């Protein structure tokens, strides 16, 4: 990315894994993104992914249920972007359904392709699709009410969006690059319509990895406040409520686990 307009983005702050108290009182309360290197290094899937990603895929498949989920697929020409097609009324991908073992088999088949289809299954409630996941992969930093969700796929790009609650995202397999923008950058991100959306929430019309600054000139201003980090297996990132984030999966097999929760409600406070 050395010749890209995004090459000068500053790095997200990094800290060693905190205690749950430190996480809650020092990190969450600061309302700033932080990378926590090695926060999930002991997870069984992480340990296996570091040794052999294919074994990690097989382990996840063996522990999966037969429940069906939405699966998205984009043609190789889309370069992993799941976004709009012409205008903002249609999408550049197709949506289907399948169970997790079948989807993982499809990913494995794409691993050896010269120009693979981009395939993702997003936001799967772990206990439904991989029973016992939470018990085997504990995350003591988040409230007990925050259930793990699985984001699985190959090399793909999730367009810039934000969440109305706090988010802890853990890379279990593969590598992911996170590009974050503060809430006040919204006007410079050229957010798309509220309906339809690729995945239920409005997304930026600008492709972070190949921004068209002639068409979206204010995005150059957004880049001045952007922060970025690349995470590998076992690393986690805290994304505060309302912070915009673009997520790029960099390997032929990637597994992300995230947790959403309302920290204000956990403290018995009202949202601002």
Domains and CATH numbers, the chain: 10-262 (2.60.120.650)
CA 238 to chain centroid: 11
Residue from 167, 133, 151, 161 nearest 253 by CA: 151
Give me the residue label for tokens 């793990």: 148
Residue bearing the bigger pLDDT, 264 or 262: 262
Check whether 200 has a pLDDT greater than 90.
Answer: no
Average pLDDT, rounded, for the chain: 94
- In Å, how far from its chain's centre is CA 57? 18
The span from the CA of 23 to the CA of 21, in Å, is: 5
pLDDT, position 8: 80
C-alpha to C-alpha distance for 57 and 48, rounded to whole angstroms = 9
Q: Give the model's pLDDT for residue 87.
A: 72
Confidence of residue 6 (pLDDT cuts 50, 70, 90): low
What mean pLDDT comes out for the span 196-201?
90
pLDDT at 2: 37
- Which one-letter DSSP state was computed for residue 16? P
Angstrom distance (rounded) from CA 153 to CA 82: 12
Give me the pLDDT at residue 272, please: 41
pLDDT on residue 88: 75
Percent of residues, the chain, with pLDDT higher than 90: 91
Among 84-93, 145-154, 199-208, 224-233, the range scoring the smallest mean pLDDT is 84-93
Mean pLDDT of the region 235-248? 98
167 pLDDT above the threshold of 60? yes
Contacts of 179 (CB under 8 A, 6+ apart): 6, 9, 160, 208, 226, 227, 228, 245, 246, 248
Q: What is the mean pLDDT of residues 202-211?
A: 96
Q: Phi and psi at residue 257, in whole multiples of 5°? A: -120, 125
């Amino acid at each position: 990315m050395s010749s890209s307009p995004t090459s000068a983005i500053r790095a997200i702050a990094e800290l060693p894994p905190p205690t749950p108290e430190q996480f809650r009182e020092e990190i969450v309360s600061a309302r700033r993104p932080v990378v926590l290197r090695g926060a999930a290094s002991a997870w069984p899937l992480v340990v296996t992914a570091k040794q052999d990603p294919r074994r990690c895929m097989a382990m996840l498949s063996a522990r999966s249920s037969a429940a069906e989920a939405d699966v998205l697929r984009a043609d190789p020409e889309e370069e992993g972007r799941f976004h709009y097609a012409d205008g903002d009324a249609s999408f550049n991908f197709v949506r289907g359904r399948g169970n997790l073992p079948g989807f993982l088999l499809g990913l494995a088949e794409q691993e050896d392709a010269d120009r693979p289809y981009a395939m993702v299954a997003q936001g799967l409630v772990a206990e439904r699709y991989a029973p016992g996941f939470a018990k085997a992969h504990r995350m003591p930093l988040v409230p007990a009410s925050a259930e793990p969700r699985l984001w699985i796929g190959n090399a793909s790009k999730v367009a810039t969006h934000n969440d109305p609650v706090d988010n802890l995202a853990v890379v279990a397999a593969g590598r992911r690059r996170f590009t974050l923008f503060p809430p006040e950058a919204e006007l410079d991100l050229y957010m798309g319509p509220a309906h339809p959306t690729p995945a239920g929430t409005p997304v930026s019309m600008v492709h972070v990895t190949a921004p068209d600054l002639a068409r979206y000139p204010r995005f150059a201003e957004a880049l001045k406040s952007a922060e970025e980090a690349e995470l590998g297996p076992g690393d986690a990132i805290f994304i505060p409520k309302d912070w915009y984030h673009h997520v790029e999966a960099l390997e032929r097999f990637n597994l992300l686990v995230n947790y959403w929760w309302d920290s204000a409600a956990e403290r018995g406070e009202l949202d601002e």
